């Protein structure tokens, strides 16, 4: 069994596994209420004040495992019962305050929220507007801002403290990047799961005469170590998937189409990361016109599977929460029927008692190294450059000037430059996760090794061009 990096991840897995087991056995209606006591048997609490609080948190997690609040269009939700341990007061005066007579903090506060009492600065939090001016002017650095981890990790500013002192997500600002789901030390923010929907799809395949395909993102390599990719493919088939395809082949298709589109339009923002696209549309609406019309690799491979098999249903398996949202967007044209993360796939294996590392290997070798490199920052730009080369576009005809950025802070900087034409960039590759998909919120192992694993996976396809991969894929009929 995988050694989890945090207790939050372990608890999430336990809930997903229990829900999956009940779904396979068609016992959700009768068994779901027993999950909290099964996971938290007591009699002593280990994580919260009492076992009843711990069970209440598990109940909230069960709800998320069942799809969360259907009336909430967001892909992440705050479980209020779990959100109660963070400090409410954000700006505080520490022991370094000397009660100096300069009182720059007092003079620079626009709301008169600071006064000196007993030779120490004191903040009236009813007046404080969290502007932070006092922090910048204190000569001793005695005033600090204790921002909640979820707020600090949410660069788009979608999370704030609500009236009830709990974290609240503004769906109009949220881009579903999922950073908050692993930033919260108490696991109070969780992504909606469609694990039950996936199981029901697999169970209904024979009854309704359709075939369920898994399309797996290239960042999966190394996530189930010591199991190989070939063993993971075998495991997917044991779960009931009819066949498995590489999303990296969809990336080859995207690179091919996007390079042609770039020459035609002259200037593009990449479209492969739905969180980046959402961030542009919500924060840089004037730049939305430059977002590539080429579908993402997930959509490209799903379309291809359905072109080859009219009875196909497609489940995306990847590291991304934003892909769950992308599935529902009109631009996907119903190409993808469900989306789950690596965390959820691991729970599916566990629910069936499948020990992936003990299975035989099933080969999966469709994509080029360029398509597989989409998983890390810089891979998309490199693939587009290769696409131009393979199409015979010379530098005299079109000179590519690409910039790759990962993480919303870096994307914000590069988008500001792009808007002003600084640097003459004509292709901006944006990824919401720092490092790219290899560090997505739904991965099992968060490590610098992830990028090395993907690079090794890409080298295994060395010598295969994008056109080779696309041509091979067009000839193969499932």
Could you report the per-residue pLDDT of 325-367, keeping only the tens digit for each? 999 987 777 899 999 999 999 999 999 999 999 999 999 989 9
Dist. CA 357–CA 131, nearest whole Å = 53
CB 388 within 8 Å of CB 467: no
User: Residue 472: what pLDDT?
Assistant: 61
What's the token pair of residue 188?
């109070």
CB 282 within 8 Å of CB 172: yes
Q: Which of 112, 147, 106 is nearest to 127 (CA)?
A: 112
Count of CB atoms within 10 A of residue 125's CB? 12
Query: What pTM, to 2 d.p., does this model score?
Result: 0.91
Dist. CA 230–CA 58, nearest whole Å = 34
CB 216 within 8 Å of CB 232: yes
CB 248 within 8 Å of CB 366: yes
User: Residue 220: what pLDDT?
Assistant: 96
Distances in Å between the alpha carbon of 165 and those of 55, 88, 127, 173? 22, 7, 17, 19
Q: Going residue by residue through the chain (478 aa), what tens digit of pLDDT does each one get?
A: 677 889 999 999 999 999 999 999 999 999 999 999 999 998 998 888 899 999 999 999 999 999 999 999 999 999 999 997 676 667 899 999 999 999 999 999 999 999 999 999 999 988 998 899 999 999 999 998 888 889 888 999 999 887 778 899 999 999 999 999 988 999 999 999 999 999 999 999 988 999 999 999 999 999 999 999 999 999 999 999 999 999 999 999 999 999 999 999 999 999 999 999 999 999 999 999 999 999 999 999 999 999 999 999 999 999 999 999 999 987 777 899 999 999 999 999 999 999 999 999 999 989 999 999 999 999 999 999 999 999 999 988 999 999 999 999 999 999 999 999 999 999 999 999 999 999 999 999 988 889 999 999 999 998 899 999 998 645 444 3
- Going by C-beta distance under 8 Å and a sequence separation of 6 or more, which residues neighbour residue 71? none
């Amino acid at each position: 069994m995988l050694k989890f990096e945090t207790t939050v991840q372990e608890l999430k897995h336990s809930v997903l596994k229990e829900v999956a087991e009940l779904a396979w056995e068609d016992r959700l209606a009768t068994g779901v209420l027993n999950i909290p006591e099964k996971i938290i048997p007591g009699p002593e609490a280990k994580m919260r004040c009492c076992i009843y609080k711990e069970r209440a948190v598990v109940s909230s997690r069960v709800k998320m495992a069942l799809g969360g609040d259907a009336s909430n269009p967001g892909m992440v939700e705050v479980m209020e019962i779990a959100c109660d341990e963070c400090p409410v007061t954000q700006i505080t005066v520490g022991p370094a305050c000397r009660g100096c007579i300069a009182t720059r903090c007092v003079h620079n506060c626009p709301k008169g929220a600071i006064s000196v009492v007993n030779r120490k600065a004191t903040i009236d939090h009813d007046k404080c507007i969290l502007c932070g001016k006092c922090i910048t002017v204190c000569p001793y650095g005695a005033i600090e801002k204790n921002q909640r981890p979820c707020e600090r990790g949410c660069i788009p500013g979608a999370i704030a403290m609500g009236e009830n002192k709990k974290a609240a997500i503004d769906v109009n600002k949220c881009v579903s990047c999922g950073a908050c789901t692993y930033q919260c030390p108490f696991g109070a923010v969780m992504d909606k799961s469609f694990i039950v929907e996936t199981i029901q799809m697999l169970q209904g395949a024979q009854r309704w005469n359709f075939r369920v395909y898994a399309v797996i993102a290239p960042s999966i390599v190394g996530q189930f170590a010591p199991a190989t990719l070939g063993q993971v493919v075998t495991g997917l088939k044991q779960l009931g998937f009819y066949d498995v395809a590489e999303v990296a082949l969809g990336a080859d298709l995207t690179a091919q189409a996007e390079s042609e589109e770039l020459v035609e339009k002259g200037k593009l923002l990449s479209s492969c990361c739905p969180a980046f696209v959402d961030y542009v549309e919500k924060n840089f609406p004037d730049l939305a016109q430059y977002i590539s019309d080429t579908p993402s690799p997930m959509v490209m491979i799903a379309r291809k599977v359905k072109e080859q098999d009219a009875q196909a249903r497609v489940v995306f398996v990847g590291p991304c929460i934003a892909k769950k949202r992308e599935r529902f967007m009109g631009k996907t044209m119903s190409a993808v029927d469900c989306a789950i993360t690596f965390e959820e796939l691991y729970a599916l294996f566990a629910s069936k008692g499948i020990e992936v590392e003990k299975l035989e290997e099933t080969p999966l070798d469709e994509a080029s190294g360029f398509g597989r490199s989409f998983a890390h920052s810089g891979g998309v730009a490199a693939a587009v450059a290769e696409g131009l080369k393979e199409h015979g576009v010379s530098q005299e005809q079109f000179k590519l000037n690409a910039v790759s950025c990962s993480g919303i802070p870096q994307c914000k900087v590069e988008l500001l430059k792009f808007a002003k034409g600084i640097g003459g960039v004509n292709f901006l590759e944006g990824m919401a996760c720092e490092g790219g998909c290899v560090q997505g919120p739904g991965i099992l192992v968060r490590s610098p090794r992830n990028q090395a694993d993907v690079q090794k996976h890409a080298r295994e396809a060395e010598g295969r061009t994008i056109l080779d991969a696309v041509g091979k894929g067009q000839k193969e009929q499932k």
